[in-house]
């Protein structure tokens, strides 16, 4: 956001991670994006709100409620508002736009789809809904396949197709290709828009030196794609990107698309802005 003028940024977010906890509709990826853009995120922990407390969850646990998914007190406020709006008949995209408006941000945050789409992972220990595997089981199981329940019937949320068609450039963030970006691309209308794009599309590798900064992306690429080189990352976006931004630790390298080499470790806000500028320079070349 720091590298763009107000109103220039549109983010399309993953909803495959969405889950119902204690009767509340939680959209972890949308919320993480919103908190980060609004300066509310806990950067040290890597998820949730800064200054979070856990009194409500502790009370729910004491009464026998589920507590495996860490809902903080500040986080609960957002989930209560979202859940009530959804039960009153609002769409997820409408609720998300209202939440963005409350922050005062001049960006658009769009769920990939308003339809129900849920990620499931297939492991040697069985198949699990994404959050049960990722949080409940600590993503310790190796993954053999990723499935997207509801993808066949899912259509892009309002504004998504228009945003892609009118974009000056398309950027795929440095996230897990299978479980963070994959659910977005599982919406056929979105994948088709990328395949038929008229502007450059640039992905940022989530790996540094062949390793994920956090999460299981490197393990999943090793098992499902056969390796963690820039080529393996690029091939996970076959036909969808024109260039891949990689870290200096992964160069020199070869890949089926143009490679852009820079420091991709976002150690602070200044580093994140420098990376964004490099990515935008490539995307708008």
Question: Is residue 4 a part of any domain in this protein?
Answer: no
pLDDT band at residue 104, thresholds of 50, 70 and 90? Answer: very high
The CATH number linked to 157 is 3.40.50.10680
Pair 255, 231: CB distance under 8 Å = yes
Asked if 143 and 103 sit in the same domain, the reply is no
Average pLDDT over residues 225-254: 98
- The whole-number pLDDT of residue 132 equals 97
Cβ neighbours for 87, distance < 8 A, ≥ 6 positions apart: none
Asked if 103 and 158 sit in the same domain, the reply is no
Asked if 188 and 262 sit in the same domain, the reply is yes
Asked if 122 and 255 sit in the same domain, the reply is yes
Mean of the per-residue pLDDT values for the chain? 97
CA angle 273, 279, 281 (to 5 degrees): 100
Examine the pLDDT at 1 and tell me if it is beyond 80.
Answer: no
Q: What is the DSSP letter of 157?
A: P
Whole-prediction pTM value? 0.96
Q: Which helix (H) or strand (E) holds 231?
A: helix 230-235
Asked if 122 and 256 sit in the same domain, the reply is yes
Q: How many domains is the chain built from?
A: 2
pLDDT band at residue 110, thresholds of 50, 70 and 90? Answer: very high
- The whole-number pLDDT of residue 25 equals 98
Asked if 140 and 22 sit in the same domain, the reply is no
Examine the pLDDT at 125 and tell me if it is beyond 90.
Answer: yes
The C-alpha atoms of residue 34 and residue 97 are separated, in whole angstroms, by 10
Examine the pLDDT at 4 and tell me if it is beyond 90.
Answer: no
Average pLDDT over residues 58-69: 96
Examine the pLDDT at 74 and tell me if it is beyond 80.
Answer: yes
CA angle 223, 118, 103 (to 5 degrees): 110
Question: Is residue 3 a part of any domain in this protein?
Answer: no
- The whole-number pLDDT of residue 71 equals 95
Tokens of 156: 């892009």
Phi, psi of 131 (to 5 degrees): -65, -35
pLDDT band at residue 200, thresholds of 50, 70 and 90? Answer: very high
Asked if 239 and 182 sit in the same domain, the reply is yes
Asked if 271 and 154 sit in the same domain, the reply is yes
CA angle 153, 183, 143 (to 5 degrees): 120
% of residues, the chain, pLDDT over 70: 100
Examine the pLDDT at 67 and tell me if it is beyond 90.
Answer: yes
Examine the pLDDT at 285 and tell me if it is beyond 90.
Answer: no
Examine the pLDDT at 52 and tell me if it is beyond 90.
Answer: yes
**Domain edge (last residue) among 48, 81, 108:** 108
- The whole-number pLDDT of residue 261 equals 98
Average pLDDT over residues 66-80: 96
Examine the pLDDT at 44 and tell me if it is beyond 90.
Answer: no
- The whole-number pLDDT of residue 46 equals 85
The CATH number linked to 33 is 1.10.8.240
Q: Quick one: three-class SS letters along 213-227?
A: CCCCHHHHHHHHCCC
Examine the pLDDT at 148 and tell me if it is beyond 90.
Answer: yes
- The whole-number pLDDT of residue 142 equals 98
Domain that holds residue 178: 118-283
Asked if 144 and 66 sit in the same domain, the reply is no
């Amino acid at each position: 956001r720091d590298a763009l003028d107000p109103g220039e940024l549109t983010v399309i977010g993953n909803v495959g991670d969405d889950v119902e906890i204690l009767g509340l509709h939680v959209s972890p990826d949308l919320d993480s994006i919103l908190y980060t853009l609004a300066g509310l995120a806990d950067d040290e922990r890597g998820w949730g709100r800064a200054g979070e407390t856990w009194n409500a969850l502790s009370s729910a646990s004491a009464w026998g409620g589920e507590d495996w998914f860490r809902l903080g007190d500040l986080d609960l406020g957002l989930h209560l508002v979202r859940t009530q709006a959804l039960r009153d008949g609002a769409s997820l995209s409408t609720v998300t736009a209202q939440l963005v408006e409350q922050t005062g941000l001049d960006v658009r945050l769009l769920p990939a789809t308003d339809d129900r789409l849920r990620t499931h992972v297939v492991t040697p220990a069985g198949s699990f809904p994404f959050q049960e595997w990722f949080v409940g089981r600590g993503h310790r199981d190796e993954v053999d396949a990723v499935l997207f329940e509801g993808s066949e019937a899912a259509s892009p949320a309002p504004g998504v197709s228009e945003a892609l068609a009118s974009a000056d450039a398309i950027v795929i963030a440095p996230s897990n290709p299978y479980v963070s970006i994959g659910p977005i691309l599982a919406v056929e209308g979105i994948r088709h828009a990328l395949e038929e794009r008229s502007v450059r599309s640039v992905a940022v590798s989530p790996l540094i030196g062949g390793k994920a900064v956090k999460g299981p992306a490197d393990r999943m690429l090793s098992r499902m794609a056969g390796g963690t080189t820039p080529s393996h990352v690029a091939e996970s976006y076959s036909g969808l990107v024109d260039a891949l931004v990689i870290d200096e630790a992964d160069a020199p390298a070869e890949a089926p698309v143009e490679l852009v080499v820079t420091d991709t470790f976002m150690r602070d806000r200044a580093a994140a802005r420098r990376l964004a500028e490099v990515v935008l320079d490539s995307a708008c070349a």
